[in-house]
Structure 1
Amino acid sequence: MDGEGCIKKAYECILNGDFDGAIEWFLQAIQLEPRNASFHYKCSVSCARSGRWELALQHAAKACELKPDHEEYRYHLDVVEARRLVSDAKLIMASESGSASEAMEFLQEARILDPLQAEACYLAAVCCMQLGRLQEARLLAAEACRLEPAMEEARQLNRQLKRMLRRRGRD
């Protein structure tokens, strides 16, 4: 079987809800045609959808390396990298030794790479709140709500910050 045949099998797997099977077929296509940027890109998209961020990042980077002027590949790489940075920031925030300012560095980079990343805005708002930067936190929470109106935790944080800032104005 050639690379295109593997890609067809991967799409069959996707249509059947077998995303791990699809990734295996994409990887097989890549083994057959390692310089095919499209195969790396398609594999990366499926890996990202399955939460396999490191593999998604690896293949997104390879697609960009093979076709550096391809805007769609570059955009996808930025989105995957942003998601990985958000994941790293969450780990920092959850650790005993992690600090809000350290997590904020990751989140700021994520927001630069993917300005539509609502979770990065929400987590940055949480960090700003922890750092006492309430006005900035409020703006970030509002941005998270704008980007993802169904994100309940961002809406709750936004309301909480509004109340805090109103009370602060009365003090």
Structure 2
Amino acid sequence: MDGKELVKKAYEAILSNDFEQAIVWFEQAIAMEPDNAAFHYRLSITYARSNKLSKAIEHATQAIQLEPEEEHFRYHLQHLRAKEIIQQAEKYINESEGQVWMAISLLKQAVALDSLSSEAFLLLGIAYSIAKEYSLAIQAIRELLKLDPQHEIGIQLFEEYRMRLKQYMQS
């Protein structure tokens, strides 16, 4: 079996929702063709779907090293790095209010890496509200709603933060 046949097996596993087996097939394909950037890219996507972010980043980085001009690989890596930063920011938000500005800083980085991340905008809005920066919270949620106008939590938070800002301005 060559690398392309192994990748075909990986896709068959994905269609059966067996991501672990797909990873095995992709890894075998890479073992046969370690310089095939597309194989690393596809494995990275599968790792990401399996919530194995560090392995996904590792293979996305490898794909870019092998084919630095490929924009799809670069965008994918930026998306993964944004997800990693979002996870770090969530920890700061959950720790204490004293860490909220660190979370905000990280979430701004995540948005810069992946401007289509509704999760980053949602958490940025929440973090700003914790810091009582309601106008900035509203801005972040507004960006979320541009990406997903039907986002239920975003709609609720937008109204909540508008009311909080109004109350804050009156006091």
TM over 0.5: yes
For residue 99 of structure 2, what is the aligned residue in structure 1?
A: 99
> How far did residue 98 of structure 1 move?
6.4
For residue 124 of structure 1, what is the aligned residue in structure 2?
A: 124
- Find out whether 1:83 has 2:83 as its counterpart: yes
- The alpha-carbon distance between structure 1 residues 95 and 169, as it changes in their structure 2 partners (threshold 3 A), is closer
For residue 35 of structure 2, what is the aligned residue in structure 1?
A: 35
For residue 145 of structure 1, what is the aligned residue in structure 2?
A: 145
Question: Which residues of structure 1 form unaligned runs of 5+?
Answer: none
Question: Which residues of structure 2 form unaligned runs of 5+?
Answer: none
Supply the distance in 2 between the matched residues of 1:32 and 1:105 (Cα, whole angstroms). 42
For residue 46 of structure 2, what is the aligned residue in structure 1?
A: 46
Identity, in percent, stands at 36
Supply the distance in 1 between the matched residues of 2:98 and 2:12 (Cα, whole angstroms). 43
| Partner secondary structure for residue 165 of structure 1 | helix
Kindly provide the CA deviation profile for residues 57-110 of structure 1, in whole angstroms up to 9, marking residues without a partner as x: 111111011101101110111111111111111122222586111111211111
For residue 23 of structure 1, what is the aligned residue in structure 2?
A: 23
Q: Number of paired residues?
A: 171
> How far did residue 11 of structure 1 move?
0.7
CA RMSD of aligned residues (A): 1.6
- The alpha-carbon distance between structure 1 residues 139 and 27, as it changes in their structure 2 partners (threshold 3 A), is same
With normalisation by structure 1, the TM-score equals 0.93
